[in-house]
Structure 1
Amino acid sequence: MSRNKIELQVLSLTYSQEQAGAYALLLGEVDGPRKLPVIIGSAEAQAILLEIRGITSPRPLTYQLFASTLEALGVRLLRVLIYRAENGLFYSYLYLQSDHSIIRIDSRTSDAVVMAMHLHCPILIYEDVLDAEKMELDAEALETESGTTNSQDDRAETISRMEEALKEAIEAEEYEKAANLRDMINQFKESNHQD
């Protein structure tokens, strides 16, 4: 049985209000209304944020090292496929081409997405998985999920939580994480001033 595949794109990355220290990556159907939220960790969020902003780190991060290794070996990333979801956890494959063979490698979805962004290849999902896991968003929920909120109280709470995470990162001497949190706070504040 052939399963229909849908292409996704990265829509937004926001601090998760449901899980402390986690981020919500929102993927959206290309040329369609369906949206898929994926909860990811802070390290993965940092990598995705770098790709969104087009920032090159002074030394290669793990995904950049992997991409360079593929290139040096003459291997090309063809596509990423989110093939299953279970209890809020998504499962993905990387499809690599080496000479005339296709190699499929299991991957965390957050790693697969950042690799796809870095190497400019499509992010696909089986349509039945998207339909089962998609967000049913009304206009108000869509606004909240896209990184903005309707009330000043919600905005203040989100900024407060992000600033607390920034303080914890500084106290733990995680300066790279702190710098990324600072940038995300500034981006969030700027997007809210544009409303």
Structure 2
Amino acid sequence: MGPEQEDKVKMVVAGITLDQSNNMPIIILRGEEEEVAIPIWIGLIEASAIATELEGIALPRPMTHDLLKNVLETMGGRVLRVEVSDLRENTFYAVLYIEQGGAVHQIDARPSDSIALALRTSAPIFVSRQVLDKSQHVDMEMLKQALGEGPDGEGKSDKDRWTEILENLKPEDFGKYKM
């Protein structure tokens, strides 16, 4: 890790779960080498984009994040990394680092979109230590049990719950967006 990355922690997507109080999707980012994990509440559309990539589901047509990846690659660009860079008023902020033609561009983005794109491009995900200090953390023992890493090795999965939610989606669930 270079000096510019010292104030950041490399993270991986531990999984997606649902907030029990409101059924909103939550993505859990977990430290790749550090014992830290944070929850980020995201929208249903973004959660489905992340879940399809995590589950390796091939869709017949490209989703928005697939399109963005294809455009970047066609234009000779690549995602260098994603950084969850700030947390203000309970809203996370992220930056995409895109290299194209020898120049590195920093693009403001939502963490959910950034993570969906990072998964599609195998780009690393970082969270600034400042964000880690400000955000609520996930209990690592509970996370390990949920992921099947507990002493009994049996984890709980939200896969069936996600399958049910995705199968029961109706166009009106997406609000103002036309389907």
Q: CA deviation at 1:19?
A: 2.6
Q: CA deviation at 1:136?
A: 5.2
Q: CA deviation at 1:39?
A: 0.5
Q: CA deviation at 1:32?
A: 1.5
Counterpart secondary structure, 1:55: coil
Q: 1:14 to 1:173 in 2, by over 3 A?
A: closer
Among all aligned residue pairs of Structure 1 and Structure 2, give the percentage whose two residues are the same amino acid: 28
Q: 1:128 to 1:57 in 2, by over 3 A?
A: same
The match for 1:104 among 102, 106, 111 is 106
Q: Who wins on radius of gyration, i.e. which is larger?
A: 1
1:66 correspondence with 2:68 = yes
For 1:129, the aligned partner's letter is: V
The match for 2:128 among 126, 129, 133 is 126
Counterpart secondary structure, 2:22: coil
Q: 1:31 to 1:73 in 2, by over 3 A?
A: same
Q: 1:69 to 1:34 in 2, by over 3 A?
A: same
Contiguous gaps of at least 5 residues in structure 2: 149-157, 175-179
**How far apart are the structure 1 equivalents of 2:45 and 2:35?**
29
**How far apart are the structure 2 equivalents of 1:168 and 1:56?**
19
The match for 2:94 among 68, 78, 92 is 92
1:7 correspondence with 2:10 = yes
Q: 1:18 to 1:66 in 2, by over 3 A?
A: same
Q: 1:30 to 1:169 in 2, by over 3 A?
A: same
How big is the alpha-carbon RMSD for the aligned residues of Structure 1 and Structure 2? 3.2
For 2:101, the aligned partner's letter is: D
1:41 correspondence with 2:43 = yes
Counterpart secondary structure, 2:132: helix
In structure 1, what is the equivalent of residue 154 of structure 2? none
What stretches of structure 1 move > 6 A for 4+ residues in a row? 161-164
Contact 2:80–2:124 (8 Å) recurs in 1: yes
Q: CA deviation at 1:170?
A: 4.9
**Deviations, residues 113-154 of structure 1 (Å, cap 9, x unaligned):** 010000001001111211221415263xx2599379xxxxxx
Q: CA deviation at 1:40?
A: 0.7
Q: How many residues align?
A: 162
Query: What is the TM-score when the length of structure 2 is the normalising length?
Result: 0.77
Q: 1:137 to 1:41 in 2, by over 3 A?
A: same
Counterpart secondary structure, 1:43: helix
1:1-195 superposed matches below 5 A: 4-20=7-23, 22-135=24-137, 137=139, 139=141, 142-143=142-143, 146=146, 169-170=169-170
Counterpart secondary structure, 1:96: strand
Question: Which has the larger share of helix?
Answer: 1
Contiguous gaps of at least 5 residues in structure 1: 149-157, 175-195
Q: 1:100 to 1:13 in 2, by over 3 A?
A: same
**How far apart are the structure 1 equivalents of 2:91 and 2:6?**
20
Query: What is the TM-score when the length of structure 1 is the normalising length?
Result: 0.71
Counterpart secondary structure, 1:169: coil
